[in-house]
A and B are shown apart, each in its own frame.
Chain A
Amino acid sequence: MKHEHFLDVNELSVEFQTRNGIVKALEKVSIHVDKGEVLGIVGESGSGKSVTAYTIIGLLDRAGLVTNGKTAFDGMLLSGAKEALLSDLRGREISMIFQNPRAALNPIRSVGKQIEDVLLRHVQASRYNVRKKAIDMLDQVKIVDSKRRYWSYPFELSGGMCQRVMIAIALACNPRLLIADEPTTGLDVTTQKATMDLIQELTRNRNMSVILITHDLGMASAYCDRLVVMQKGKIVESAPVVKIFSEPQHSYTKKLIAASPGPKSQLADLIDTTDEMSEADIEQLDKPMQQFSQKKSATPNILEVSNLVKEFTVRDSSRFRLPWSGKISSHQTFRAVDDISFSLKRGESLGLVGESGCGKSTTSSILTRLLDPTSGDVIFDGENITSYSSVQFAQIPQRAKIQMVFQDPTDSLNPRYTAKDTISEPLKQLLFIKKREALNERVIKLAKMVGLPENLLTRFPHQLSGGQKARVGIARAIAVEPLLLILDEPTSALDVSVQAVVLQLLNKLKRDLGMSYIFVSHDLNVVRLLCERVMVMNRGKIVETGMADDVLRNPQKDYTRNLVSSIPHFEPGKKVA
């Protein structure tokens, strides 16, 4: 008899019944995990990583059908097992941490009670000691003041805390296998590091096996022993971490590694071999519009921001207020942007980095004049644009000079507009091009510039891929030839290989059109690729500014240092045992 693995998945195939026929989600996927081993499953969206995990613990969608393969857990056959057995195993033997902790927790039940539920379900505690055990679990996941937090509801906790509670629930019954499905998506890098370190510590102490599903190669390299790379429902490569990074075998793995920006990679390194667009198509654009590179005026700085402040009123919900009692005099305010000043040269790109809630989005909203500042000046192209209210600003020609690329390419496109409608909107509104031929010509030209095939222009957003939607968003932003383009995490919703392409496109457009960029992001490595200078923000204040490479290599402030060191990446030789 051959050596039995702790978890053995053998030639698993899964199909999904959809409106458009049968979709093969998994094709003959074989993985195995040994005791105490951390297996990483990496791949881009739609590669079947999550389906694999759901199939293992028997939580596959009703439309899904296992057509082939066997799953054995500790010698026990899971495939074809009765639901009663599976639900007994789930939580006690095999646990799962989900992608979005806030969605996975019950919003109307206190977190302590939710931990108790698992313990009671699997008879790991009695009614008399269950609370003590739950609080003990909260202590183990390092939640401060666990006795009080026992009564907290998920909405009262931060994203990181919610994920800790999820970990507590998952580990409450001491399972032997933990499946973590993108456990840190949506969390800040420092929180991500804390969460992952916690998972690592807890699972190592209990000698648990872990399957870590992630799209982030850096994270996988830092926390896994062995990696499985998946693409389109198939496993393309499986090897120990060090081997995968030092000598990747499959071309897809190579591409994935190249596309993940590390602390040393250059933009050109993120090789562009995406299927949807070749570099040649982007290249062939006739003379770029150079109007504004010629009319350089005397002011060297395109943008000067001085003492910018934005305050939000915090509504005091604790006190009941009668409508006729008038305004309370001492209303609380929260400073989202706290007295920041900086400047931006023509053609320069500045990275604005910080964690969620640091005020970077508020700053970019003020710069695009979608939001009025509380005080401070924004001098754009020699004119103080804060002297106009955001409503007035919409009417003046400067409106066209500051444009923005949004974070979520799906959310930022009107689902009822075709790609062409979306791109022509600013042309009609701001450049007053009304003739259909002229409009068509411009749209086609813009599509060419961003590398969007012409036949996709008549499609609606839901018929486009993530990368194509991002291109439409970029085309819309550059349509009116802005001087300043604000990029609000333009690649955070995209897969790494698509991100690489979009970053290169942005870099090329900057060169050709002479625009200035403000690149808002939480990812220092990405910012470094596109920006000469970075500005690190924390709690509405600028912590540190400097040349991108300097800040990343030699951060001066503790906050920045913490931020930089939290980014997981692969370093040969550094591999922890």
Chain B
Amino acid sequence: MSENLVTVVSFSLFLFIVFLGLFGEFLAPYDPLATAASNTLRPPSWTHPFGTDNLGRDVLSRVIVATRLDLSIALSAVALSFVIGSALGSVAGFWGGWWDRIIGRFSDTIMAFPLFVLAMGIVAALGNTVENIVYATAIINLPFYIRVSRAETSVRREAGYVAAARLCGISEIRILATQVFPNTLPPMMVQISLNMGWAILNAAGLSFIGLGVRAPDAEWGIMVAEGATYIVSGEWWLALFPGAALMIAVFCFNLLGDGLRDLVDPQRRT
């Protein structure tokens, strides 16, 4: 791993983000929800490195604490769409025929909507909660998992080792689960990593337009949304810092993809 600088950088960045997510509330210098009427809209200073917002809350603390919420929304959404998507995709790729047609058209249907609008619609219909953001994000990402997993499975279904497993009398479903599916993981890992970035953006985007996370809670998207109105009057730090945090997180997950693939690829193991 050490031979690749990009992988090292992205992995350390990833660990840092996870660390903030886990221990953010202990690291934050101030209470992210404590308002201070005498101390509003202060620019970055030594006491408040990221400044304070319109209610006098410390922006740095809010950015740190928001990590957990954003990360957990993204993680659970990605986990959900990975599990369901790869199951559907493997079935479609392995058995083909009617499975393939039905699952294929299902994912086409999802793809036919503008994905963000679909997510908005889902959250609006199901109710304005954090869980529903997770479901909406998971659903709009499903087709990508289905497609990657279907393609990877169908090229491997005729492989020699699959025929060899049949000669051992292993049932079809077990062949899919133990012989084919693990071999589709390396490309799926890239998908997962890229998707983490999208999921974070998506969650932030939904909060930005006022869906999902409610006002006092710290979340990057909602912070950008609240801070955006102040940019015109010169208080740029309200939106810039959560926005930068968002960007760094997405950037990190995009870089992580290649590293992750190497990690699960047996060819790289020794």
Residues of A within 8 A of B (CB): 19, 368, 370, 391, 394-395, 399-400, 402-404, 406-408, 411-417, 422, 425-426, 429-430, 460, 462-463, 473, 476-477
Contact = CB atoms under 8 A, between A and B. Distances in A.
A413 B170 CA distance: 15
B15 interface: no
A394 B166 contact: yes
B7 to A, nearest CB: 14
Contacts of A429: 168-170
A277 B182 CA distance: 32
Contact of A412 (B163, B170, B267, B269): B163
A430 B169 contact: yes
Given A414-B183, A460-B266, A462-B267, A403 B167 contact: yes
B266 A394 contact: no
B213 to A, nearest CB: 40
Given A414-B179, A462-B267, A370 B159 contact: no
B169 to A, nearest CB: 4
A412 B179 CA distance: 11
Given A394-B171, A460-B266, A460-B269, A412 B160 contact: yes
Given A460-B266, A462-B266, A462-B267, A413 B161 contact: yes
Nearest to A400: B169
Contact of A414 (B3, B161, B166): B161
Interface in B249-270: 266-267, 269-270
A406 B164 CA distance: 8
A413 B183 CA distance: 12
A313 to B, nearest CB: 14
Given A406-B160, A429-B168, A429-B170, 4 more contacts: A394-B166, A404-B164, A406-B163, A411-B161
A416 B266 CA distance: 6
A426 B182 CA distance: 19
B167 A426 contact: yes
A370 B160 contact: no
Contacts of A415: 183, 266-267
**Candidate in A19, A417, A477 with the most chain B CB atoms within 10 angstroms:** A417
A370 B163 contact: yes
A371 to B, nearest CB: 10
B28 interface: no
A394 B160 contact: no
B11 to A, nearest CB: 19
B169 A395 contact: yes
Contacts of A425: 164-165, 168, 170
Interface in B121-160: 159-160
Given A411-B159, A460-B269, A462-B266, A416 B169 contact: no
18 contacts: A394-B166, A394-B170, A399-B168, A404-B167, A406-B160, A408-B160, A411-B161, A412-B161, A414-B179, A414-B183, A417-B161, A425-B168, A429-B168, A429-B170, A460-B266, A460-B267, A462-B267, A477-B167
A402 B163 CA distance: 13
B160 A411 contact: yes
A403 B169 CA distance: 11
Contacts, number: 67
Contacts of A404: 163-164, 167
B164, B179, B267, B269 — which one has the most chain A CB atoms within 10 A of its CB? B164
B168 A407 contact: no
A399 B169 contact: yes
Contacts of A408: 160
Contacts of A462: 266-267
A368 B164 CA distance: 10
Interface in B154-199: 159-161, 163-172, 179, 182-183
Contacts of B3: 19
Contacts of A476: 164
Q: Which 9 A-B pairs have the closest CB atoms?
A: A412-B160, A411-B160, A414-B161, A429-B168, A394-B169, A426-B168, A399-B169, A406-B160, A416-B266
Contacts of A417: 161
A391 B173 CA distance: 12
Nearest to A413: B161
B167 A370 contact: yes
Contacts of B161: 411-414, 417, 422
A407 B160 contact: yes
A370 to B, nearest CB: 6
B108 to A, nearest CB: 16
Contacts of B182: 416
A477 B171 CA distance: 18
B68 to A, nearest CB: 34
A430 B168 contact: yes
Nearest to A390: B166
Contacts of B165: 414, 425
Contacts of A391: 172
Nearest to A459: B270
Contacts of B170: 394, 425, 429
A406 B183 CA distance: 19
B184 to A, nearest CB: 11
Contact of A399 (B160, B167, B183, B270): B167
A344 to B, nearest CB: 18
A370 B183 CA distance: 22
A426 B270 CA distance: 25
Contacts of A402: 167
A483 to B, nearest CB: 14
A399 B182 CA distance: 25
A422 B178 CA distance: 12
Contacts of A399: 167-169
Nearest to B162: A414
Nearest to B180: A414
Chain A CB count within 10 A is highest, among B164, B167, B171, for B167
Nearest to A365: B163
A414 B176 CA distance: 12
A119 B169 CA distance: 57
A463 B165 CA distance: 21
User: Which of A370, A395, A399, A415 has the most C-beta atoms of chain B within 10 angstroms of its own C-beta?
Assistant: A415
Most buried by A among B168, B170, B270: B168
